Amino acid sequence: MPPRPKPKTRRPRKEKPCPICTQGIEYIDYKDLSLIKPFLNERAKIKARRTTGACAKCQKQLSAAVKNAREMALIPYTTR
């Protein structure tokens, strides 16, 4: 039997700085659509943290703001 190849080691990912924290934003307002829109994909779904680079605190505020904006009909629930 031939020897087994060594498994490739994974390099640790470089942490992205949170785009919301770096701008110095403390509270995400649901009426600020220019801030919210980059965190939504073309189907109006909230993008994942690993995609956007948002920290957990900001992602939680962002999801609450998006849900409020949807309820107030500022952004659609989904688009087809």
Give the model confidence (pLDDT) of 26-72 as tens digits.
999 999 999 999 999 999 999 999 999 999 999 999 999 999 999 99
5 pLDDT higher than 80 = yes
Under 8 Å between Cβ of 79 and 42: yes
pLDDT at residue 40, rounded to an integer: 95
Full-model pTM: 0.78
Q: Where are the domains of the chain?
A: 19-71
pLDDT at residue 30, rounded to an integer: 95
1 pLDDT higher than 80 = no
Which class is 19-71 in CATH?
few secondary structures
Query: In this structure, what is the dihedral angle of CA atoms 25, 14, 56, 32, given to the nearest 10 degrees?
Result: 30
pLDDT at residue 8, rounded to an integer: 82
